[in-house]
């Protein structure tokens, strides 16, 4: 928003209660203050497209209390601060320990040496994430005897690392307030997590999904009771019964225009509305537009929900799991109350005791679920541990729930979510408990979850991270906490990104600060990662990963990598990296986000499929009554006839278009200008002398048959062009145009510079067209998103996705079987989190028991005089089947039916392929004759042909 003040917290306002002491505050940082709540678009632009301005303004007035500055609490604090709430109080009464260095990315070794309070140690680091958020800390113990009235000033309370009885007491207090304080509790116990939300008895949500209202083009409406509305063919409406629609642009049954109707779905392409028998018959056209209506969600207290939990099922293959984990977690809560500790790591006695507690607890639950002994065992075994990527995933989800609580935007979690990483330990078999015992270093919390052997495998990993944006920053943080690439003997993290840091990055890419703007992302992120874990080895590059950089990221480079992880924002780059991983037989972990949506995909050699397998002239030609060959009107939905617009200088849209068009032309033609030249008076003076010629239609014929063959491109040559050349020659000969007057500059579109007029021109031009065609205009904010191809983004979904990817990375490092891997799709707005099995690699049968998958690659070693016939015979001899066709990329080297191809059999492979001097091999595609004449050729695997015997992989 040009010229506006940013979202801020009021100067000097404390976010903690005076009864708890002054508390710590970010005293060394400026507290941005203003009376009006405006939005800093340069910082929040990507998030604004996710949440909208109304929700952003509500956030900017919200106060949140967050207890527990372990790894999970810090993840939530990071995400909330980046999002831009008004004030955050972080609370913790614990001192820093060595253990914390592997779970809390803002703690350093001197914090442990000096035994600093955890909240005070991270305060400054959290505050630096966003100067518009007022962050304070408190270290006063929070117990069951604490007077909770200090919580009255908060809109939301978040508890981590809090015993269940205290959770119940604080939840009851929050529910007793008017309006109720929204309550969230979250826990990580080893490889298990729990998230609970209670937003009061009733909680109204204004926008459940955040999606744009659907627009449905209509093809027919019946005169009936009820009337049936049919959509255009092959355009399903994707609506639900009970939703409301309004109508516009209907011809014939005009009485529906502007009305609101509740619908009942009849089929994917039709729905019923009210009585239409008294209306005029439907003729053509019309658009139905979805109306978003508020929805009330109902919550129960923690005490009630413990006995009758409503759980979100994340893994549909294990619908019983949430209740089983719920039971085991309650047993753990009881164990801690009985013994004032968690079960000891790998202790069989404690495991048996936890199982004894779980059985009677399950009987107190209304559903009376079966007690899963394996879950209880591994919960007892790992409960003292902490898995950082699981905290990242849960922290992302929990943070989004906080934002829902303070804004009423998106559907809240009702009411429990359990996410686990049991696949990691289930594939370990029966390890010795010594594997999990602490060694006194920063990885003890991780070691308690996955064992020392797997910890060492992570430390020895060579990882190639492609992209260092929002997901890339989160991944580097996860690598540092896990110790990836920290072994003295082996291991390295290579990261590459050609981009420089922009202000809009700071809202999600938490390793960057304002003083890093215009510095390289990869170098800056590498330096920040070393501060989290000084032992990590990082090699930062500024290169794109594409065919032009294959001399850098060559076969040798890829074969040295254990895992490739993409953090990219476009499909083309993903496909290229996938092809390189396929050729080099390397695992690939892909992920991405768009707003609150996210996905993860695991690609493992020989186990899974790969990523890839996976106006006036117009009206002259077509008057409003034009009909097609079938008699139907040409101008009906979705086509619209234009309405000519007459220029009016007093119309703001017309003036804005001319102003910004003139500015762009002047820049392109290197014409100097001042702001005075673009003033209203200056433009009016010029325009008063301009004579607008009357429109004269040409004889151009427009083809309406979409199946008709398009004519070849006609070279540009016209009377206008000859006139332009004549005028230019005349100006030059009269010395009216010098060399300096004939310069042109390339103008590159830049969406983030509000002074250049680029977005203003596009907004004006597109809205002029919208007005001509009776289309709803788009404001500058929406235009910037569309024209700038801005992907809506928010830190919560980024954190969640990166955590889930890192969990899969641990499995790849451990060489786990196919069944252990999970892909994920999530939409935190709904919320939906769905884990699915990866796509198992497909085996293609050729014949006689010969088969292959996409990961198979046949190899043939040749020599300088090796002919195409020699190659075909070598394949037949080595693999037992004779190729009938050989292709290199899109170039057909040998197809028997092609004229002249038989002669190629005597040519050498060098002559046919024409390799560069440094090229050691070429990848070819072969196929084989079908079993039956007339059938298609049988496909074969890639064949890597080496030009000499002394080269190999």
**DSSP H/E element including 564:** strand 563-566
Average of per-residue pLDDT values in the chain = 89
What's the CA gap between 235 and 232, in Å, rounded?
6
Give the pLDDT band (50/70/90) at residue 661: confident
The label of the residue with tokens 């591994």 reads 378
| pLDDT, position 779 | 81
- CB distance 92 to 117 below 8 Å: yes
What's the CA gap between 719 and 721, in Å, rounded?
5
Mean pLDDT of the region 730-752: 80
What's the CA gap between 601 and 809, in Å, rounded?
11
**DSSP H/E element including 946:** strand 938-946
What's the CA gap between 866 and 860, in Å, rounded?
11
Mean pLDDT of the region 726-748: 80
- CB distance 483 to 443 below 8 Å: yes
| Residue pLDDT, tens place only, 143-170 | 999 999 999 999 999 999 999 999 999 9
DSSP states along 103-142: T-TT--HHHHHTT-BHHHHHHHHHHTT-TTSEEEEE-S--
- CB distance 831 to 208 below 8 Å: no
| pLDDT, position 952 | 54
Long-range contacts of 933-940 (CB under 8 A, 24+ apart): 937/884, 937/885, 938/846, 938/847, 939/844, 939/846, 940/846, 940/852, 940/858, 940/881, 940/883
What's the CA gap between 484 and 474, in Å, rounded?
14
What's the CA gap between 130 and 9, in Å, rounded?
11
Backbone angles phi, psi at 173, to 5 degrees: -65, -45
Token code pair at residue 455: 């910890």
Tell me, what DSSP letter sits at residue 551?
T
- CB distance 835 to 315 below 8 Å: yes
State yes or no: pLDDT of 390 exceeds 90.
yes
Give the pLDDT band (50/70/90) at residue 653: confident
Token code pair at residue 812: 């790849």
| pLDDT, position 701 | 67
List Cβ neighbours of 739 (8 Å cut-off, separation of 6 or more): none
What's the CA gap between 685 and 897, in Å, rounded?
73
Mean pLDDT of the region 753-759: 82
The terminus-to-terminus CA distance of the chain in angstroms comes to 55
| pLDDT, position 626 | 64
9 cis-preceded (ω within 30 degrees of 0) = no
- CB distance 94 to 140 below 8 Å: no
- 204 strand-pairing partners: 296
| pLDDT, position 8 | 29
Is the torsion defined by CA of 118, 119, 124, 126 positive or negative?
A: positive
Backbone angles phi, psi at 810, to 5 degrees: -60, -40
Give the pLDDT band (50/70/90) at residue 27: very low
| Higher-pLDDT residue of 463, 752 | 463
Does the predicted model carry a pTM greater than 0.75? Answer: yes
Dihedral (C-alpha) 862, 865, 870, 875: value to the nearest 10 degrees? 10
What's the CA gap between 74 and 103, in Å, rounded?
9
List Cβ neighbours of 462 (8 Å cut-off, separation of 6 or more): 485, 490, 491, 492, 494, 560, 561, 562, 563
Rounded to the nearest 10 degrees, the angle between the axes of helix 118-127 and helix 71-83 is 30
The label of the residue with tokens 């050699």 reads 605
120 cis-preceded (ω within 30 degrees of 0) = no
- CB distance 184 to 72 below 8 Å: no
- CB distance 508 to 798 below 8 Å: yes
| Residue pLDDT, tens place only, 792-809 | 899 999 999 999 999 999
Buried-exposed string 634-658: b where 16+ CB fall within 10 A, e elsewhere = ebbbeeebbeeeeeeeeeebbbbbb
Give the pLDDT band (50/70/90) at residue 34: very low
Separation of CA 496 from chain center: 19
* CA contacts within 13 A on the Cβ side of 379: 33
High-pLDDT (> 90) share of the chain, %:
67
3-state class of 842 per DSSP? Answer: coil
Burial of 625 (0-12, 13-18, 19+ CB in 10 A): exposed
What's the CA gap between 807 and 813, in Å, rounded?
10
| Residue pLDDT, tens place only, 560-582 | 999 999 999 888 899 999 999 99
Tell me, what DSSP letter sits at residue 386?
B
State yes or no: pLDDT of 21 exceeds 60.
no
- CB distance 607 to 840 below 8 Å: yes
| Residue pLDDT, tens place only, 240-299 | 999 999 999 999 999 999 999 999 999 999 999 999 999 999 999 999 999 999 999 999
Long-range contacts of 694-701 (CB under 8 A, 24+ apart): 695/616, 695/644, 697/616, 697/617, 697/620, 698/617, 698/620, 700/617, 700/621, 701/621
| Residue pLDDT, tens place only, 811-862 | 999 999 999 999 999 999 999 999 999 999 999 888 888 889 999 999 999 9
High-pLDDT (> 70) share of the chain, %:
90
Cα–Cα nearest to 371, from 387, 360, 386, 385: 360
What's the CA gap between 282 and 288, in Å, rounded?
14
* CA contacts within 13 A on the Cβ side of 324: 18
What's the CA gap between 834 and 881, in Å, rounded?
44
Backbone angles phi, psi at 540, to 5 degrees: -100, 135
Cα–Cα nearest to 335, from 310, 360, 311: 360
The label of the residue with tokens 């790849």 reads 812
State yes or no: pLDDT of 624 exceeds 70.
no
- Output Rg (C-alpha) for the chain, integer angstroms: 33
| Residue pLDDT, tens place only, 322-378 | 999 999 999 999 999 999 999 999 999 999 999 999 999 999 999 999 999 999 999
| Residue pLDDT, tens place only, 897-906 | 888 899 999 9
DSSP states along 252-280: S-GGGBT-EEE-EEEETTEEE-S--TTSP
Token code pair at residue 599: 């996905």
What's the CA gap between 742 and 730, in Å, rounded?
14
Burial of 46 (0-12, 13-18, 19+ CB in 10 A): buried
Q: Find the length of the chain.
A: 953
Mean pLDDT of the region 443-460: 97
What's the CA gap between 511 and 520, in Å, rounded?
12
| pLDDT, position 18 | 30
| pLDDT, position 685 | 83
Cα–Cα nearest to 824, from 600, 514, 570: 600
């Amino acid at each position: 928003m040009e010229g506006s003040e940013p979202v801020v917290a009021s100067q000097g306002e404390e976010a903690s209660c005076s009864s708890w002491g002054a508390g710590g505050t970010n005293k060394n940082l400026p507290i941005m203050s203003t009376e009006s709540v405006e939005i800093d678009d340069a910082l929040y632009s990507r998030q604004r497209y996710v949440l909208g301005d109304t929700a952003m303004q509500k956030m900017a007035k919200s106060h949140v209390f967050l207890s527990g500055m372990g790894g999970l609490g810090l993840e939530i604090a990071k995400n909330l601060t980046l999002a831009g709430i008004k004030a955050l109080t972080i609370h913790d009464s614990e001192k820093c320990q060595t253990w914390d260095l592997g779970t809390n990315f803002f703690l350093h070794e001197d914090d442990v040496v000096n035994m600093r309070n955890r909240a005070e140690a991270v305060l400054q680091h959290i505050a630096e994430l966003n100067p518009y958020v007022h962050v304070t800390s408190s270290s006063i113990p929070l117990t069951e005897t604490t007077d909770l009235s200090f919580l009255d000033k908060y809109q939301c309370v978040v508890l981590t690392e809090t015993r269940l009885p205290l959770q119940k007491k604080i939840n009851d207090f929050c529910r007793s307030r008017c309006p109720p304080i929204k309550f969230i509790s979250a826990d990580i116990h080893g490889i298990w997590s729990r998230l609970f939300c209670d937003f009061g008895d009733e909680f109204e949500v204004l926008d459940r999904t955040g999606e744009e209202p659907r627009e449905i083009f209509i093809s027919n409406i019946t005169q009936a009771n009820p009337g049936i509305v049919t959509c255009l063919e092959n355009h399903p409406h994707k609506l639900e019964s009970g939703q409301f629609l309004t109508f516009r642009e209907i011809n014939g049954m005009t009485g529906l225009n502007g009305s609101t109707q509740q619908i009942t779905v009849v089929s994917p392409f039709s729905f019923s509305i009210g009585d239409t028998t008294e209306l005029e018959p439907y003729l053509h056209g019309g658009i139905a537009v979805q109306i978003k209506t508020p929805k009330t969600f109902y919550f129960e207290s923690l005490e009630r929900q413990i006995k009758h939990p409503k759980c979100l099922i994340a893994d549909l293959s294990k619908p019983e799991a949430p209740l089983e984990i719920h039971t085991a977690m309650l047993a753990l809560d009881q164990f801690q109350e009985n013994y004032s500790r968690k079960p000891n790591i790998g202790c069989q006695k404690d495991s048996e005791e936890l199982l004894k507690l779980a059985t009677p607890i399950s009987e107190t639950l209304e559903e009376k679920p079966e007690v899963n002994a394996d879950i209880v065992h591994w919960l007892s075994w790992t409960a003292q541990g902490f898995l950082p990527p699981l905290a990242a995933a849960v922290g992302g989800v929990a943070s989004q729930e906080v934002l829902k609580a303070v804004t009423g935007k998106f559907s809240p979690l009702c009411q429990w979510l359990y996410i686990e990483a049991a696949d990691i330990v289930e594939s370990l078999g029966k390890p010795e408990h010594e594997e999990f015992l602490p060694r006194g270093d920063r990885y003890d919390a991780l070691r308690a979850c996955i064992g020392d052997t797997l910890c060492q495998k992570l430390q020895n990993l060579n990882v190639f991270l492609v992209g260092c944006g929002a997901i890339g920053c989160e991944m580097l943080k996860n690598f540092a906490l896990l110790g990836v690439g920290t072994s003295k003997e082996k291991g390295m993290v290579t990261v590459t990104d050609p981009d420089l840091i922009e202000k809009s990055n700071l809202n999600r890419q938490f390793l960057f600060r304002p003083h890093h703007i215009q510095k390289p992302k990869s170098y800056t992120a590498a330096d920040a990662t070393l501060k989290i874990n000084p032992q990590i080895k990082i090699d930062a590059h500024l290169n794109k990963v594409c065919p032009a950089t294959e001399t850098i990221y060559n076969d040798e480079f890829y074969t040295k990598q254990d895992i490739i992880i993409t953090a990219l924002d476009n499909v083309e780059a993903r496909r290229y990296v996938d092809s390189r991983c396929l050729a080099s037989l390397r695992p690939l972990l892909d992920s991405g986000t768009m707003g609150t949506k996210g996905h993860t995909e695991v690609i493992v050699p020989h186990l899974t499929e790969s990523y890839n397998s996976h106006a006036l002239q117009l009206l002259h030609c077509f008057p409003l009554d034009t009909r097609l060959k079938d008699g139907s009107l040409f101008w009906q939905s979705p086509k619209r006839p234009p309405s000519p617009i007459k220029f009016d200088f007093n119309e703001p849209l017309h003036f804005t278009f001319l102003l910004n068009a003139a500015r762009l032309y002047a820049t392109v033609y290197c014409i100097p200008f001042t702001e005075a030249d673009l003033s209203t008076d200056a433009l009016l003076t010029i325009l008063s002398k301009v004579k607008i010629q009357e429109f004269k239609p040409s004889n151009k014929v427009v083809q309406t048959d979409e199946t008709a063959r398009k004519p070849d491109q006609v070279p540009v040559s016209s009377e206008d062009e000859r006139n332009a050349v004549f005028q230019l020659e005349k100006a030059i000969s009269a010395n009216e145009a010098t060399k300096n007057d004939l310069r042109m500059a390339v103008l590159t579109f830049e969406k983030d510079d509000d002074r250049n007029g680029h977005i203003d021109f596009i907004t004006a031009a597109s809205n002029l067209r919208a007005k001509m065609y009776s289309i709803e205009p788009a404001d500058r904010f929406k235009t910037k998103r569309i024209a700038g191809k801005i992907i809506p983004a928010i830190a919560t979904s980024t954190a969640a996705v990166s955590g889930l990817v890192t969990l899969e990375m641990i499995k790849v490092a451990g060489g786990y079987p196919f069944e252990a891997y999970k892909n994920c799709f999530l939409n935190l707005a709904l919320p939906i989190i769905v884990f699915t099995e990866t796509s198992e690699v497909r085996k293609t049968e050729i014949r006689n028991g010969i088969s292959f998958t996409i990961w198979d690659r046949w190899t043939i070693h040749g020599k300088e005089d090796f002919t195409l016939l020699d190659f075909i015979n070598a394949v037949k001899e080595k693999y037992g089947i004779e190729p009938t066709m050989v292709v290199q990329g899109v170039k057909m080297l040998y197809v028997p039916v092609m004229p002249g191809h038989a002669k190629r059999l005597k040519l050498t492979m060098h002559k046919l392929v024409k390799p560069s001097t440094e090229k050691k091999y070429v990848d070819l595609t072969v196929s084989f004759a079908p079993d039956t004449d007339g059938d298609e050729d049988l496909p074969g695997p890639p064949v890597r042909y080496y030009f000499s015997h002394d080269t190999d992989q």
